Amino acid sequence: MSTLSAERKQEIVTKFGETPQDTGNTRVQVALLTARINDLTEHLRSNKKDHHSRRGLLMLVGQRRRLLRYYEKSNLEGYRALIKELGLRR
């Protein structure tokens, strides 16, 4: 459902982090949240009445928005590249 497999998580960390163990990097955290958000969105398309998961989705979106706002302030070029790479519209 909304949990990512360990292999998929590691794949995202390797792709967006500077090292394979770089899980605290803002880029990595935003990418992981985006993957979870996409999975939850698919889940909610087929389970329209699952309001508990919908609340979780909204919380994840808010967390990602806060991280993106921080990243935009601290590294504008990196922020623009990340948005483009993840295909987010902001």
* Full domain range(s) for residue 54: 6-86
Domain membership of residue 70 (yes or no) is yes
pLDDT, tens only, 74-83: 999 999 999 9
CB contact burial 23-35 (16+ within 10 A = b; e otherwise): eeebbbbbbbbbb
Domain membership of residue 49 (yes or no) is yes
- In this predicted structure, what is the pLDDT of residue 3? 83
Residue 67 maps to which CATH number? 1.10.287.10
Total domains, the chain: 1
Residue 31 neighbours by CB under 8 Å, 6+ apart? 12, 15, 16, 82, 86
Domain membership of residue 35 (yes or no) is yes
pLDDT, tens only, 23-76: 999 999 999 999 999 999 999 999 999 999 999 999 999 999 999 999 999 999
pTM of the predicted structure, to 2 decimals: 0.93
Three-state DSSP at 5 gives: coil
- In this predicted structure, what is the pLDDT of residue 65? 97
